[in-house]
Amino acid sequence: MMMIRIGKDNFIVFSDDLTGANGVSGMMAKFCSSAVFNHDKIFSDVDEHFQCITLNTKTRMLDGESAYSILSDLNGIITEKGARMGKRIDSTLRGNMEKEIIPFLERNSAIMTDTIPEYGRYTENGNTITQETSLDIAERFRELEVIPLKIHELRNARIESGKVYVVDSRTYSDLERIAEFTYRNGYIPMDPGPLCSMVASLHIPGGRRNLKIPAISSISYIIGSMEKKTFLQLEHARSRGIRIVHINEFSGEFSRTLILRLNYMEHRHLIDDIFIERISRFDSFVLSGGETANTVFEKSGGIYIESLGDLFPIVGIGKIHGGRLDGKIVVTKGGMIGSENIYISILNLLLSGEDGKDRNYTW
């Protein structure tokens, strides 16, 4: 049976949805050839060889045992190939975080931190601290022992298999120290993206790659996230002249920019073959909401996303390969990621390559 090429020189990250997968893959694309595959496409016949691969396990909405089974099978396949691995976690600690790390810890340990400095997000005393809230990481675990560590305690810490160690961090300097410790000792990095990508950079030889945002002329946002922050971001985009159309009112009209809004749980059936045909007129897409992104990509028949970098941390950009949206540019964003003006910033970067300055759009 054919399989994408994976060996000891690869770094593989597992993510439970497509927005997260594309986000961390975009980070890794800065120093390695990187791509995103849905896990059930792992046996695809693909000529291109990628150094870094993120597997979208599509397990965010599954029950814990089903998620465990998928990750256990994938862990067996990748371990046999000898590749190094990392585990991407959700930016709000949702999903089957514990069940999905258990398969990797039979003979290993996870080093976890939950820091994205650009967003004011840091890790302290076993907690994720953001501008909006504080999340106790240990409360998300029932079976595994979770041990908080100060970063200065890493050097002399006794790390035991089968446990998760949550390390304090605030800065990229902290993340680099944790990455070096994790890589040197062969542990599993576990975070929203920065730590996994840093460990990957230690595994992949070479330096930074020159990445260029491709020029596009039209963009469709397909927004299924129902987070409070998403509503604020959408309202800001509307105030700057971006038209918003609900998916059940969309009949294929085309404009240079268009936001298509949906509640995924209520309207996912509308992402069908007709919908894919209608949106294929656009050059590029911004997908927000993990299940929304999964469904659009799968319904289009896409095989993989070749990563072209990230516009902002965990906001990945790539090119779709295969299916009816082949060659189209796609940007993915989690619902809790980004400031109020994130959609305008993405628009500016894609249309003009400028620095995301706020402005009015009246197309």
pLDDT, tens digit, 9 for 90 and up, residues 287-310: 998 899 999 999 999 999 999 999
pLDDT at 2: 57
> Can you tell me the distance from the alpha carbon of 115 to that of 194, in angstroms, rounded to the nearest whole number?
8
Q: Where are the domains of the chain?
A: 11-203, 219-352
Q: What is the mean pLDDT of residues 61-68?
A: 97
Greatest C-alpha distance within the chain: 62
pLDDT at 309: 94
- The overall average pLDDT reported for the chain is 92
Per-residue confidence at 285, pLDDT binned at 50, 70, 90? very high
Supply the pLDDT for residue 363: 35
Token pair 């779709």 in the structure block, residue: 320
In sequence order, what are the residues at sequence separation of 6 or more whose Cβ sits closer than 8 angstroms to the Cβ of residue 156?
Answer: none
- pLDDT value at 45 more than 80: no
At 91, the pLDDT band (50, 70, 90 cuts) reads confident
DSSP string, 296-313: HHHHHT--EEEEEEEEET
Q: How far apart are CA 17 and CA 294, in angstroms?
A: 7
The topology under which CATH files domain 219-352 is: Molybdenum Cofactor Biosythetic Enzyme; Chain A (3.40.980)
- pLDDT mean over 14-33: 96
* 358 has a pLDDT exceeding 50: no
**Mean pLDDT of the region 282-287:** 96
Q: Which strands make up the sheet holding 122-124, listed edge to edge?
A: 122-124, 127-129, 134-136
Secondary structure (3-state) at 156: coil
Give me the sign of the Cα torsion angle 44, 295, 299, 222. Answer: negative
3-state helix, strand, coil in the chain (%, to 5): 35, 25, 40
CB contact at 8 A, 299 and 272: yes
Q: What b-and-e string marks burial along 199-216, b requiring 16 or more CB atoms within 10 Å of the CB?
A: bbbbbbeeeeeeeebeee
Instruction: Report the alpha-carbon distance of residue 322 to residue 35 in Å, rounded.
Output: 13
- Is residue 236 predicted with pLDDT exceeding 60? yes
Q: Which CATH class is domain 11-203?
A: alpha beta
Characterize the bridge pairing of strands 244-246 and 257-261.
parallel
DSSP 260: E
Please name which of 244, 216, 224, 245 lies closest in space to residue 347, comparing C-alpha atoms: 216
- Strand-strand pairing, 122-124 and 127-129: antiparallel
Q: Is the pTM of this model over 0.85?
A: yes
Alpha-carbon span 214 to 204, nearest angstrom:
25
